[in-house]
Chain A
């Protein structure tokens, strides 16, 4: 399966999804006006990956900012991961937040309470 690589912009995060390693990374800012457009390839990619996932999938979410329009799309991404987890494959979501950023930690906890996938909250210390 082809990896998904998207460079970051001031309004959209960088994406690195690598099927052979079972590693997916979303990093940067996610504040586009139209996030459905941006996230569609990610959701499609995950749908293909879900057909034959690795035993262990590791997802790293390291966002500085995201808007509410992205928050729904991120939930869609997590729902795909939840389906993989349900099919008896290990999935872990590492949710990164900067040490003073309680809002970002809380956002991660919001997702953790909705999605049945193990989350790990990872504090980034400067």
Chain B
């Protein structure tokens, strides 16, 4: 069974959704999402510590999408906007669930999977050390924080990162990342 984007998105957007978006991830869109979520969280009276954590995680995950998604997806049989990505923020009881999704080249799966598994295997203090090491030793690329994003997300969330790679075809999979705050 090939990955079904429509189904994936419908399933994600079922609960107590604060914001659901699919389409081009542009700089302007990031501004709009951040602004919308910030005012919604304020209305929800989420405490300011939690609000900041969510905001930070949103910034990192949206910018991760922005920097890493492909401009075009050749060979994908659906009409996709350029720089296509998915972002859903949902409230589940006391927790907030942030999910991002995007198509990725099959050849990038291994790297990403190993990176997340590594992050998930670390304690809080080890994550802090990893963050500081990357901060101090890796050069910043035009693409962003040089690999700090996921580490930062994991630190701020305090929970394990949940991910799934759904095979779409031989060239592409759909990468779904869920962060609990």
Contact = CB atoms under 8 A, between A and B. Distances in A.
B135 A72 contact: yes
Interface residues of A, number: 26
Interface string A98-123: 10111110100010011000000000
Contacts of A114: 132, 135-136
A67 B135 contact: no
Contact of B31 (A10, A35, A100, A113): A10
A64 B52 CA distance: 9
A100 B132 contact: no
Chain A facing B: main interface SS: helix
Contacts of B142: 34, 36
In this complex, the member of A33, A68, A75, A104 whose beta carbon has the largest number of chain B beta carbons within 10 angstroms is A68
A38 interface: no
Nearest to B153: A68
Given A65-B55, A65-B56, A101-B49, A33 B135 contact: no
A31 interface: yes
A33 B155 CA distance: 20
A72 B146 contact: yes
Nearest to B48: A100
Interface of B: 27, 30-31, 34-35, 47-49, 52-53, 55-56, 59-60, 63, 66-67, 128, 131-132, 135-136, 140, 142, 144-146, 148-149, 152, 155-156
The 8 closest A-B pairs by CB, nearest first: A68-B145, A68-B148, A72-B140, A69-B145, A100-B49, A69-B144, A68-B152, A31-B59
